[in-house]
Structure 1
Amino acid sequence: MAHKHARTSAPSASSIRHHDSAIRIACNSPANQNAHMSQYFHGIESMPHASVIYFIPRGTRLNPRRLAALLGEISRHAENPDVELLVANQNVMDARIIDYMNELAAEHPGLHVPVTQPGLEGGAVLAMAVDAARSERIIFIDGRAYLKPGAVQLLLQEAARSPGDAVGYALPGQGMRDHAADHSGSGALDRLFRLMRRPAHPVCAVWGKELHAHLGGFDTTLQFHAMSDFLLRAAMRSRLHRLGQALEKATTLTDASIRAAGQDSTVVLQQLLDEESRIVNRAMRDFIAGKAGGPDFSTPVLAREFTTRAGSTAAMIRALQKGQECGAEDLAHAFFVHGLLGMRLGQIDNSRDILETAHLIIREQPDLTRLYKLLLLEHRIESAPSPEDVARVEGGRSGPKVTVATPLFNQGRYLDEAVRSVVAQTYPDWEMVIVNDGSTDDSYEQARAILAAIDDPRIKLVSQENSGLGATRNRAIRESDGSYVVCLDADDMIAPDYFAIALDMLHKAPRAGWVNVKTLVFGGSHHVAWDEDFDFARCIVASASACTSMIRREALEEVGLFREDLTAREDWEVWLSLLDHGWTYVTTRHPLFFYRHAVKRPGMMPMSNVPSKEEVISLHPWWFRIDLDEDTRLKAFLEYTTVRFSPWFLNVANIERVLPVLHDREAFLREMACIKSEYPPVTRPKRWQNAPDDCYITTRKKKYGII
């Protein structure tokens, strides 16, 4: 399996002693320790029996006493006393730790206290340590792990038994439940499936240098998941096995420690999610493309496995239909394996159906959402109209132009995926306007590089001072002339058939002002959203559609485009405005939009929806119970943290006035004019708790941390 990532060259024997991120300590029996250390430091190096890499990731404090205990354990229990220890450290050490390390160096001649160079990713530090190792046998130990008495002895015994042409790994004690053996299929297959579903970070591992090179080494661009990625690639080659359970029971590694203590937890979690998705997507693509090696991955074996798994999934669904209970984890695993095997064997429609069913039954399963997103992004829907079909119904050689309006604020690292999802559209008549909204990082430079690499004249990039989401979307719309508008944020994606399907739907439903695009939410949350057909009251009680729904330009211009004076949630307000003007919507059959639910967006603090609720209600007071007292009103605002109200907060009387004429737009508009005449004219939104009417920009700067 080819991997395109930077590799570090092996430092020399002398440079490694002074390297900032990896140090070597020779660990020998007392009788021959000095002799070996003397040989080593004079360049007359003997080949050690094994090289132990002790990894201290960023945000984790190096514990010298634990390191000293590890040295002692290795000296006592190694069958061959010639073992070297390399400390792969990502952190700056304070003076107190350096002093203790000097004391340790006095007890173990040759120990050098490293000078840390910050900024290297975890994968790069591990790659340097492997390159520096003199032995062909590598033993990895996570420095955050607590090794119970006897764990080191068990590890050395496992290392002696483990073949060098496979990776042996042990999970911490609490990780064993997530990766318990599933005896319904072959071991190699199940290991791979479970690692794809939940990438494992081993507490320790053993492998050979030759295998390391064969697998492509560590991905040096990964900070958190370099070892998880390495295990996945070993599993893809049938070169992976679990070390003994006795060893796993003798180790612990808390989830909190994995998430890099001392760093901003939301930033770390976002990086973890992004990296995990990246390595799993790569593994799933390779598996579907037939790149997995070994007898367990041959097509006949996979075909038999698919038949078995499909039968098992069908039995589970029948049991649910009869009211019987099935465990959510068993269901999720069955759906995932069924869908993945179907994609590998070309059974795309079967996989699509089973993954759609899975998302109807269970929610918040990241593995199922990743697989479903991969299928929808890379396989078009057979029933989708062709560009020629769209042009034919429009009565011309080419169909109408679609404008893609993309605001860009500090989301440059995701922009390439967004742009390529537009370029991949089966419908070709589109334009894309990317507006850099005063990004404070290098997003604008990233955007320029992406556009230069793609080199598509349909894409335009402009830049402006930070003006807010509404103004930025409007800038993109005014810079374009498409008859239909899709607002695609820089960190989201669309399916390749989206434009063709949406245009066809709008042609068949002239009363519809927009297409409500069924949405697959991924990232910090995992589920299908905005999947309901048009319902007038539901459009009021919650935000009707995803921001990337396709809108008729004439309808959008009729309501004055997006408001530029709101704290946030401009899309929610525009759906209500379209509703006020008598427009309805139609909903897509399949998820065609992929919304990234970010844990934390760069440059912004967490945003409350309460100010937005006050603003939107003040602009559309006829749909809500504005007669309620302040305490009851606050209850309505706080009942849901999302953009949603309970039905009791709606003005049912006004809704019932327009429902009888909903089918007739002219009659609807007449009734709406009567309703609006009963309320004072509204020109500006009311601010929450009478906050200064300083519009979006000042509020954004002061309240949400934009600089």
Structure 2
Amino acid sequence: MRFSVVIPVYNVASYLTGCVSSVLNSTETDYEIILVDDGSTDGRSGPLCDTLAARCPNRIRVIHQKNLGLGGARNTGLEAAQGEYLFFLDGDDTISPEALSILSQAVEKFHHPDVIAFFLELWPEGGSVPTGLQRHRLPPDQVCTLAQCPAMLLDTPSACARLWRRELFLKSGIRYPERLWYEDLYTTENLLLEANSIVGLHVPLYRYLLRTGSIMRGNDPSRNREILLALDQVFAWYRSRQCFTRFQEELCGMTLQHISYACYRVLLQDPHHPLIPQFLEYLTSHFPTYRTSKYYHALTRSQRVILFFLRHRQYRLPALLLEWKEKKNSK
């Protein structure tokens, strides 16, 4: 079997049918769908998984488990998968009808690479057209390694932005952490280091749903501390492979991006949170000369503004500016 499409399910009953239908409508036929009901509590998502599987028993398998978080659900799907490749699809997102066919052709063309990256379309909830495109930095239609294109460390770490050869997980022993935020950051950067062949397709295959207000919904700002744990794990992995110095510039750029994003989340919720100054302390302790990095100058204006105010320990003003920006963008 070519593909195992792993769909973690947690309280996404309103979106799940559309998600699964987007795979079933694929022009590719050599695939299975694994629905991992991760202890859903809405009383709807778990039964809906069973209903969908009953309609296509030769195509869909369901696994019900206690809640292990997104990472734990992906691990469960990974272990149960029969396909050569893993396609991780979140239960509220969809794929284009030709996505799996294009990926299958790429698998053959590039002799079964370890990783295939692609673009993601950003779809607003209720919208009829995408409003953005998330790109990667890989050259088009070429086989490379992380050493040949280290800037890919600054691409989104989302597991959903790449097709993964299952053997890469099995040989490396890398798995997703359970019940932790930023689970993709724990794994993607390490998998890219272990991969012998990586291909970038310059075509959007994944449709990411921008759920209204999701950045603010029910989040405990203290949990953003987990990004520091994820970064620690990545740095430890690269040091264990004697590769930290080799990729230090890109690891610095990656840290700048994720620290500014985590700070963005916390500032929107609580500009007086004690975690905010810890972000800058972490950044300067690992990369004391970060302001000379070429990736610092490549940050967005908002990211540089956040870091500027962090250095000057002024948190209320950027919080107000970010809140205004969020409200403006939501109109």
TM-score by length of 2: 0.63
What is the 5 A alignment of 1:665-704? none
Distance 2:113 2:259 in 1: 32
Q: Which residue of 2 aligns with 1:551?
A: 164
User: 1:513, 1:578 within 8 Å by CA — same for their partners in 2?
Assistant: no
1:448–1:635 Cα change, 3 Å: closer
- The code of the aligned residue for 1:450 comes to L
Distance 1:620 1:566 in 2: 18
User: 1:401, 1:483 within 8 Å by CA — same for their partners in 2?
Assistant: yes
- The code of the aligned residue for 1:508 comes to K
Q: Which residue of 2 aligns with 1:153?
A: none
**Residue 529, structure 1, aligned to residue 134, structure 2:** yes
1:426 CA drift (Å): 1.3
Q: Which residue of 2 aligns with 1:564?
A: 177
- The code of the aligned residue for 1:617 comes to L
Q: 1:415 aligns with which of 9, 16, 25?
A: 16
Q: 1:434 aligns with which of 21, 31, 35?
A: 35
1:593 CA drift (Å): 0.6
What is the 5 A alignment of 1:245-264? none
Distance 1:417 1:636 in 2: 32
Q: 1:455 aligns with which of 41, 56, 67?
A: 56
Q: Which residue of 1 aligns with 2:26?
A: 425
Matched position secondary structure for 2:17: helix
Q: Which residue of 1 aligns with 2:188?
A: 575
User: 1:426, 1:497 within 8 Å by CA — same for their partners in 2?
Assistant: yes
Matched position secondary structure for 1:522: strand
Q: Which residue of 2 aligns with 1:678?
A: none
Q: Which residue of 2 aligns with 1:617?
A: 231
1:576–1:543 Cα change, 3 Å: same
- The code of the aligned residue for 1:615 comes to L
User: 1:562, 1:574 within 8 Å by CA — same for their partners in 2?
Assistant: yes
Matched position secondary structure for 1:588: strand
User: 1:519, 1:546 within 8 Å by CA — same for their partners in 2?
Assistant: no
User: 2:186, 2:231 within 8 Å by CA — same for their partners in 1?
Assistant: no
1:435 CA drift (Å): 0.8
User: 1:624, 1:651 within 8 Å by CA — same for their partners in 2?
Assistant: no
- Structure 2 stretches lacking a partner, 5+ long: 140-147, 236-243, 266-282, 294-331
1:649–1:584 Cα change, 3 Å: farther
Q: Which residue of 2 aligns with 1:538?
A: 151
- Structure 1 stretches lacking a partner, 5+ long: 1-399, 629-633, 653-707
What is the 5 A alignment of 1:598-637? 598-600=211-213, 605-606=218-219, 610-621=224-235, 622=244, 623-624=247-248
1:583 CA drift (Å): 3.6
- The code of the aligned residue for 2:193 comes to D
1:585 CA drift (Å): 2.5
Distance 1:651 1:486 in 2: 38
Q: Which residue of 2 aligns with 1:444?
A: 46
Q: Which has the higher contact order (CA 8 A, sep 6+)?
A: 2
User: 1:413, 1:446 within 8 Å by CA — same for their partners in 2?
Assistant: no
Distance 1:403 1:536 in 2: 28
Matched position secondary structure for 2:122: strand
TM-score by length of 1: 0.31
Number of residue pairs aligned between Structure 1 and Structure 2: 244
Matched position secondary structure for 1:557: helix
Which structure has greater strand proportion?
A: 2
User: 1:540, 1:576 within 8 Å by CA — same for their partners in 2?
Assistant: yes
Listed one character per residue, the Cα deviations across residues 351-401 of structure 1 (whole Å, up to 9, x for unaligned) are xxxxxxxxxxxxxxxxxxxxxxxxxxxxxxxxxxxxxxxxxxxxxxxxx42
Matched position secondary structure for 1:590: strand
Distance 2:154 2:13 in 1: 34
User: 2:32, 2:59 within 8 Å by CA — same for their partners in 1?
Assistant: yes
User: 1:517, 1:545 within 8 Å by CA — same for their partners in 2?
Assistant: no
Q: Which residue of 2 aligns with 1:596?
A: 209
- The code of the aligned residue for 2:191 comes to L
- The code of the aligned residue for 1:463 comes to H
1:607 CA drift (Å): 6.2
Matched position secondary structure for 1:427: coil
1:651 CA drift (Å): 12
- The code of the aligned residue for 2:14 comes to R
Q: 2:118 aligns with which of 495, 504, 517?
A: 517
Matched position secondary structure for 2:97: coil
Distance 1:469 1:585 in 2: 25
What is the 5 A alignment of 1:178-577? 400-441=1-42, 442-452=44-54, 454-510=55-111, 512-523=113-124, 526-533=131-138, 536-544=149-157, 547-565=160-178, 567-577=180-190
Distance 1:592 1:451 in 2: 24
Distance 1:491 1:503 in 2: 24
1:402 CA drift (Å): 0.6
User: 1:538, 1:544 within 8 Å by CA — same for their partners in 2?
Assistant: no
Distance 1:635 1:497 in 2: 35
Distance 1:529 1:637 in 2: 16
Matched position secondary structure for 2:114: strand
1:493 CA drift (Å): 0.7
Distance 1:460 1:491 in 2: 18
Percent of counterpart pairs with the same letter? 22
1:599–1:584 Cα change, 3 Å: farther
1:638–1:551 Cα change, 3 Å: closer
- The code of the aligned residue for 2:170 comes to E
- The code of the aligned residue for 2:225 comes to P
- The code of the aligned residue for 2:72 comes to A
Distance 2:220 2:196 in 1: 30
Distance 1:482 1:651 in 2: 45
1:544 CA drift (Å): 4.5
Matched position secondary structure for 2:26: coil
Matched position secondary structure for 2:68: coil
1:601–1:434 Cα change, 3 Å: farther
1:510 CA drift (Å): 4.1
User: 2:136, 2:155 within 8 Å by CA — same for their partners in 1?
Assistant: no
Whose radius of gyration is greater, 1 or 2? 1
User: 2:182, 2:226 within 8 Å by CA — same for their partners in 1?
Assistant: yes
Listed one character per residue, the Cα deviations across residues 105-127 of structure 1 (whole Å, up to 9, x for unaligned) are xxxxxxxxxxxxxxxxxxxxxxx
Listed one character per residue, the Cα deviations across residues 127-183 of structure 1 (whole Å, up to 9, x for unaligned) are xxxxxxxxxxxxxxxxxxxxxxxxxxxxxxxxxxxxxxxxxxxxxxxxxxxxxxxxx
Distance 1:483 1:605 in 2: 37
Distance 2:179 2:292 in 1: 23
Distance 2:234 2:178 in 1: 15
Q: Which residue of 2 aligns with 1:167?
A: none
1:649 CA drift (Å): 4.4
Q: 2:260 aligns with which of 611, 633, 639?
A: 639
Q: Which residue of 2 aligns with 1:308?
A: none
Distance 1:595 1:507 in 2: 26
Distance 2:291 2:84 in 1: 34
Matched position secondary structure for 1:568: coil
